[in-house]
Structure 1
Amino acid sequence: MSYDVEKPDEQWRTELAPDEYAVLRQAATEPAFTGEYTDTKTEGVYSCRACGAELFTSDTKFESHCGWPSFYDPKESKAVELVEDRSHGMVRTEVRCARCGSHLGHVFAGEGYATPTDQRYCINSISLRLAPAED
């Protein structure tokens, strides 16, 4: 896949902290209930920590109690890329930033949450940066 933002691996390593690099570029997962945005109720826009693309809004964030920030829909459908993930002996749908290809988390459907889409975008806090809404 070709992305609007492409950088050599060495550049990503210098621009991102080691834990950010592990999640965003190597598809690691931050430990549950440790992320800075897990319980945040601040209104605003969540952007990709690697490239700044706007991905989610606080309007679609909900409490799933799963240990990571959860959203029921991206800001725009073209903001994220969905990729089949067969790692760890299961089939899941990985969520990546459509602008730079960075790993964000996974999306799950049919879990019974009372959301308009019946989806849970389970996203690593470390993949995001929140810009609070201006009052």
Structure 2
Amino acid sequence: MVTRVFSKRVPVLKLAPSPLPPLVEEPVRRPGTIAWPTRASLIEIFGSDEMVNRAVASLIEEAREDDTWLDLAQARADAPLLVERLHRLVGSLAFVGGVDLERCGEQLIAQVQADGVVANTPQLQAFQRNLRGYMAYLSRL
């Protein structure tokens, strides 16, 4: 069986259910910190190094394209285009563990829909800086 992940075709692996993790207390998170996945956590999600490499490479390629479109949408104050590209990014980020960026993207979608592009330019630029940092991080995993 083959499924589409982003724009590339990759085989779907059927994995046995994972055992439940041991109960441990969640680490204390400071406000404003971003929780990014580790290579080990991505391997747990995808099942192998090879699958992680494929997923991360595809995500980075797609995110760079979306980031370019976000720049264009901001320059044109094009809310529908900006929301479309943010929506794509949110889905991609959820796929590889970028939960904090995913939440931020969801909030931005709502804010842009309510108030427009220009009113949210500083938040959009901060999101893009964080996105670029996250892509750099993933490329080093």
TM-score under structure 2 length normalisation = 0.28
The higher relative CO (CA closer than 8 Å, separation ≥ 6) is in 1
Higher strand share: 1
- In our comparison, the structure showing a higher alpha carbon Rg is 2
Higher helix share: 2
TM-score under structure 1 length normalisation = 0.29
